[in-house]
Structure 1
Amino acid sequence: MTDSPARTDSAALAWLGLILGSLFWAGNALVARAFHEAIPPMSLAFWRWVLALILLLPFVAVPLWRQRRLLLKTAPQLVVLAGLAIAGYSSMLYHAAQTTTAINMTLLNTCLPLVLFLGAGVLLGEWPVRRAWYGMLLAAAGLLVLISTGSWEKLRNLQFRQGDLWVLLSILDWALYSLLLRRWSATLAAIAPLSLMAALIALGIPLLLPFYLLELWRGQLFEPSMSNLAAIAYTAVFASLFAYLAWNYGIKVLGASRVGLSNYLMPVFAAVLSWALLDESLQGFHWAGAALIFSGLLLANWRPGRRVAA
């Protein structure tokens, strides 16, 4: 039988959200690196989520109160997810931005699909089909083209920095969050997406607070200038609310392994943003790498239609 129109529409919406989410996360890496000297990492992580919660509360305060018993019942799972997604992931990513480049951050994040492929199989029993593995390899080839800029010598001499370890740790953190979110999806299904997001943020902020206060105690402050506040606003609205909601919806509709493939888009978007904002030229290897990545995503997610039996 063919997939129902509703299911097809949900998958299309999920992929649209993931594509835009990858764009916003690529922007998040550029912002984190551009402002790494102006805004300390824990300050950016803390105020990003505080602002996101302030923006959400008018829409979720009443639903959260109505579902307070369910939220209390699922509190152990929510605390774990909040620790991973809100406190852990953003903190490690912003620490990485202190000592590595935005392109390294986006490139290393493309390790996530492999981690999710393996994790989904081992922890959830959701082994991807053979076509998905081929698609991942094709997208990985496109990634290598972008990394090397079409030059094998540059790929061989590629150097990584101390902050890259933080990126790798954040990948493991995010993969575990994604897998647990999928595993507990039935338990959390009764909580509306906005309410779930608000609950995770509300639980994650207190986990961030001690590290933010430690940063303040060390004298690491930031000036509340328009540019700094705009950077925080971007991370709160686009890299937090929209991208996280899109990711959570993708996990629910597509599964953990398939959504991870969207991370291959981040270096493509990073190159496009660098061209649009930093006046860097788009060259042939950008187009070749992007073509391979998009082809890999299409192959991994292609579902041949099946005829309905007569």
Structure 2
Amino acid sequence: MKPRGVSPYLLLVLTTLFWSGNFVLARSVRLDVPPLGLSFWRWALAAALLLPFVWRTMVRDWPLVRANLGLVILLALLGVTGFNTFVYLGVQTTTASNAVLLQSVIPLLIILLSWLLLGVSITLAQGLGIALSLAGVLVIVTRGEPGRLLQLALVEGDLWVLAAVVSWALYSVFLRRLPAGLGGLTLLGYTVSIGVLAILPLYLGETLGGRTMTLEPVTIGSVLYVAVFPSLVAYLFWNRAVGEVGPNRAGQFIHLMPVFGSLLSVLLLGERLYAYHLAGILLVALGIYSATFWRHPSAAVGREET
């Protein structure tokens, strides 16, 4: 549960930090932990940790959940089953640069889908923020050399990551259709439970096909990390923040993922921090500020996001 007085924007920063760690770990253990196995055990463990504490509130809120059951199931399939499974399948074959670049489409897609599905306005500030943040991401991905974009080649993994992008954007937009009384731990409990059940047959098929997880301290520790921080903590933070600031503003913080990815590579993998990292981080920060905090008096398409 969100501590009192904690800014939703701080929650969004922490969420993207945890998710960045998820990408780093998934890529590093891909030879020892198959993608569907990682997705299943991530959420099975998350459910085992979460349900003993939330089952009473889940039972209490069941009438409200039942009235919105189709939406809750859709959110589980998009945000738990689909997004994570697609990401883990993608990082098996795609390069880090391609994956980061495709993830950075999420904020733009959220804004477009919010306009199309919810009628939420697209403001000048948000448009400027998207442009600045994408520029910052491109600086990091291309290492300050735009010509590198011409060398990017799509592979099967890119298509999986693109599917994850669409899945998460839809999840974030449909969160706004939940009634005010349904959210927090209740929503997390139901979506995790439904999501892991949907992953189970896929995982069994992978296991019967001969792909199993190597049980070593590194792989076990990796699964524990992704079960707690990118799963339980990050999803609770993201859901709460989207409920407070809306999907358009929250989506801008996805641009922090390549920033945190670069910093984690420096801290954990011993890579060097270059000037293009700093330039990209600055542009991303300016873009988030523009899209999130700057108010422009000009008219916008649709209705204002609240």
Asked if TM exceeds 0.5, the reply is: yes
Residue identity matched to 2:272: S
Question: Please, which runs of 5 or more residues in structure 2 have no aligned partner?
Answer: 298-306
Distance in 1 between residues matched to 2:151 and 2:294, nearest whole Å: 39
Shift of 1:95: 0.3
Partner of 2:161: 167
- How far apart in 2 are the matches of 1:101 and 1:237? 26
Residues in 1 aligned to 2:279 and 2:154: alpha-carbon distance in whole angstroms: 24
| Alignment partner, residue 90 of structure 1 | 84
Map residues 286-297 of structure 1 onto 2, 5 A cutoff: 286-297=277-288
User: Which residue is 1:108 aligned to?
Assistant: 102
Structure 2 letter corresponding to 1:289: G
SS of alignment partner, residue 212 of structure 2 = coil
What is aligned with 1:32? 26
Contact in 2 for aligned 1:30/1:102 (Cα 8 Å): no
1:122 Cα deviation after fit: 1.1
Runs of 4+ with deviation above 6 angstroms: none
CA distance in 2, matches of 1:169, 1:185: 23
Aligned-residue offset at 1:76: 1.5
User: Which whole-Å deviations, capped at 9, do the CAs of 1:149-200 have from their partners, x for residues lacking one?
Assistant: 1123323323333201111111111111111111x222xx223401110111
Partner of 2:236: 245
Question: If the length of structure 2 is used for normalisation, what is the TM-score?
Answer: 0.91
CA drift of 1:304 comes to 5.3
Q: 1:36, CA displacement in angstroms? A: 0.8
**Residues in 1 aligned to 2:19 and 2:100: alpha-carbon distance in whole angstroms:** 9
- Contact residue 111 and residue 248 of structure 2 kept, 8 A: yes
**Letter of the structure 2 residue corresponding to residue 251 of structure 1:** V
Distance between the aligned counterparts of 1:46 and 1:150, measured in 2? 38
Correspondence 1:41 to 2:35 = yes
Is this contact kept in 2: 1:39–1:221, CA < 8 A? Answer: yes
Confirm or deny: 8 A CA contact 1:116 1:257 kept in the other structure. yes
**Counterpart code for 1:161:** V
Relative distance call for 1:158 and 1:305 in structure 2 (3 A) is closer
Unaligned segments of structure 1, at least 5 residues: 1-8
Deviations 1:52-88 (A, max 9, x none): 1111122202111222222222222111111111111
Determine whether 1:68 maps to 2:68. Answer: no
- CA distance in 2 between partners of 1:305 and 1:266 (Å): 27
Distance in structure 1 (CA, Å) of the matches to 2:22 and 2:200: 21
Structure 2 residue identity aligned to 1:287: L
Do the aligned residues in 1 keep the contact of 2:125 with 2:294 (CA within 8 Å)?
Answer: no
Q: Percent identity?
A: 37
1:148-227 alignment, distance < 5 Å: 148-182=142-176, 184-186=177-179, 189-227=180-218
* CA deviation profile, 1:98-132 (whole Å, cap 9, x unmatched): 10133432221010111111111111111232111
Contact 1:185 1:252 in 2 (8 A): no
- Quick one: distance in 1 between partners of 2:165 and 2:183? 26
Greater CA deviation, 57-66 or 256-265? 57-66
How far the C-alpha of 1:303 sits from its partner, in A, is 4.3
Using the size of structure 1 for normalisation, the TM-score is 0.90
- In the aligned structure 1, how far is the partner of 2:63 from the partner of 2:178? 18
Number of aligned pairs?
294
Give yes or no for contact 2:188–2:236 (8 Å, CA) kept in 1: yes
Counterparts of 1:148 and 1:239 in 2: how far apart (Å)?
Answer: 26
